[in-house]
């Protein structure tokens, strides 16, 4: 039984929404960030990163307070408005290749604690505590957790009907996305949608494990104060068939002392190797891996060695770690080893080729993306994926919706 609630969202006025919303802060290069801050006074980047020029010279405490003050300035200037009563939203994102539609709502901390909202990624405690402090100091969150639910024909039909109405927002962004938002403020609709989710036994976090963990930590520290808003966190709920799962590919700086021929010979213990030479080859199915080394692409076909592998042992990212990255290349800590970096699978294989040809990296590995069934199986068994196993879309725009605490 899953619980969702409407909330009194704070959001940009319709005439400014295209100027206010932005991609995740980390997606911008320094040059892009400086340009947006210089030429767009309405960008939410001014809020989430105030005093950009001096950002390295101030404490986190002062930076978080600066975020809170700048957000209040935006509200005072009429850039943001607050809903008069709690509402849901239907939100659609159209990219160049995909379309995503889901529901923006509050989800329950109790559901998160009781594993009704399930996880498949580990979290870093320092990041959880840092974002918890950010939430506490700023008093708001604008980054919903991406949560997926089993496809439901009734909810699908309901969403399709709501999308026939005139949207609250209908705007495009500079990265060629189209965004539409519909407000759901009718009490009958709100109650009906809540009843539908009450019949869904489990929800799964697709993206946002640190954000949900931070919300739980904040709730636990301040629940005695009786702030009802801390009992929930903002989520973007989307059907399983709507999400797009990409792989994270790996590039490694050296061969850990191996000569190329010796390294290939070592790989043959666990893989059938085919030299694809200059063909830009990517894995076509599970248990296949691509490799770029010394100017050539290779196809690596895993030799299934265990007739009854565990769910985790069956995961391609785990196979690559267990058979190659750890024993051969000496990489133990996938999060912190400086010899490895990650390239989202939506980027071209040419990106990997170029980075290796430039000489900073020596070998790259391409994986086949996981599917939702693998993610759910891991979550159901309280297992954790290796770091950087999935890159999941859609990505929510910062500043589109604010959940005040």
Q: pLDDT at position 373, please?
A: 94
Q: Kindly list the distances between the CA atom of residue 175 and the CA atoms of 22, 169, 351, in Å, as whole numbers in the listed order.
A: 10, 17, 19
Q: pLDDT at position 32, please?
A: 86
Q: Is the pLDDT of residue 21 over 60?
A: yes
What does pLDDT average to over the chain? 94
Q: Which residues contact 268 (CB under 8 A, 6 or more apart)?
A: none
For the residues 183-191, what does the mean pLDDT come to? Answer: 98
Q: Is the pLDDT of residue 151 over 60?
A: yes
Q: Would you place residue 396 in the very low, low, confident or very high pLDDT band (cuts 50, 70, 90)?
A: very high
Q: Would you place residue 391 in the very low, low, confident or very high pLDDT band (cuts 50, 70, 90)?
A: very high
pLDDT digit string (tens) for 208-258? 999 999 999 999 999 889 899 999 999 999 999 999 999 999 999 999 999
For the residues 318-342, what does the mean pLDDT come to? Answer: 95
Q: Would you place residue 7 in the very low, low, confident or very high pLDDT band (cuts 50, 70, 90)?
A: very high
- SS3 string, 68-96, reads HHHHHHHHHCCCEEECCCCEEEEEEEECC
Q: What DSSP designation does 276 have?
A: E
pLDDT digit string (tens) for 280-304? 999 999 999 999 999 999 999 999 8
For the residues 184-194, what does the mean pLDDT come to? Answer: 98
Q: Kindly list the distances between the CA atom of residue 166 and the CA atoms of 90, 103, 245, in Å, as whole numbers in the listed order.
A: 12, 17, 30
Rounded distance, CA 34 to CA 17, Å? 20
Q: Would you place residue 56 in the very low, low, confident or very high pLDDT band (cuts 50, 70, 90)?
A: low
Tokens of 280: 């830009």
Rounded distance, CA 354 to CA 360, Å? 10
What is the model's pTM? 0.92
Q: Would you place residue 55 in the very low, low, confident or very high pLDDT band (cuts 50, 70, 90)?
A: low
Q: Is the pLDDT of residue 363 over 70?
A: yes
Q: Which domains does the chain have, with CATH numbers?
A: 4-242+393-404 (3.90.1530.10), 247-369 (3.30.1760)
Q: pLDDT at position 167, please?
A: 98
For the residues 343-370, what does the mean pLDDT come to? Answer: 96
Q: Kindly list the distances between the CA atom of residue 235 and the CA atoms of 21, 182, 320, in Å, as whole numbers in the listed order.
A: 17, 16, 32
- Please name which of 45, 42, 40, 50 lies closest in space to residue 29, comparing C-alpha atoms: 45
């Amino acid at each position: 039984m899953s619980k969702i609630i409407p909330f009194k969202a704070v959001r940009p006025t319709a005439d400014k929404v295209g100027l206010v919303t932005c991609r995740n802060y980390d997606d911008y290069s320094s040059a892009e960030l400086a340009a947006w801050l210089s030429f767009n006074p309405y960008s939410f980047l001014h809020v989430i990163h105030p005093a950009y020029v001096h950002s390295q010279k101030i404490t986190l405490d002062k930076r978080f307070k600066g975020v809170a003050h700048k957000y209040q300035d935006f509200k005072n200037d009429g850039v943001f408005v607050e809903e008069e009563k709690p509402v849901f939203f239907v939100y659609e994102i159209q990219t160049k290749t995909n379309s995503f539609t889901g529901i923006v709502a509050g989800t329950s901390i109790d559901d998160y604690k009781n594993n009704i909202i399930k996880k498949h990624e580990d979290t870093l405690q320092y990041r959880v505590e840092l974002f918890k402090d950010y939430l506490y100091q700023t008093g708001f969150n604008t980054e919903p957790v991406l949560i997926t639910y089993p496809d439901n024909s009734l909810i699908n039909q309901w969403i399709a009907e709501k999308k026939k109405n005139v949207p609250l927002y209908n705007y495009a962004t500079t990265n060629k996305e189209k965004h539409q938002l519909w407000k759901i403020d009718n009490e009958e609709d709100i109650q009906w949608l809540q009843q539908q989710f009450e019949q869904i036994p489990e929800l799964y976090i697709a993206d946002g494990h640190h954000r949900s963990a931070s919300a739980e930590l904040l709730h636990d520290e301040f629940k005695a104060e009786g702030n009802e808003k801390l009992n929930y966190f903002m989520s973007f709920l989307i059907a399983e068939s709507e999400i797009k799962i990409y792989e994270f590919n790996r590039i490694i700086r050296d061969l850990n002392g191996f000569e190329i021929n010796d390294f290939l010979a070592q790989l043959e213990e666990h893989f059938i190797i085919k030299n694809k030479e200059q063909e830009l080859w990517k894995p076509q199915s599970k248990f296949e891996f691509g490799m770029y080394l010394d100017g050539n692409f290779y196809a690596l076909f895993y030799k299934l060695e265990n007739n009854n592998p565990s769910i985790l042992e069956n995961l391609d990212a785990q196979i690559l770690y267990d058979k190659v990255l750890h024993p051969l290349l000496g990489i133990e800590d996938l999060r912190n080893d400086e010899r490895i970096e990650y390239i989202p699978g939506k980027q071209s294989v040419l990106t990997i080729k170029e980075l290796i040809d430039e000489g900073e990296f020596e070998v790259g590995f391409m994986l086949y993306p996981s599917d939702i069934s693998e993610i759910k199986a891991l979550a159901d068994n309280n297992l954790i994926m290796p770091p950087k196993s999935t890159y999941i879309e859609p990505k929510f725009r910062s500043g589109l919706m604010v959940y005040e605490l």
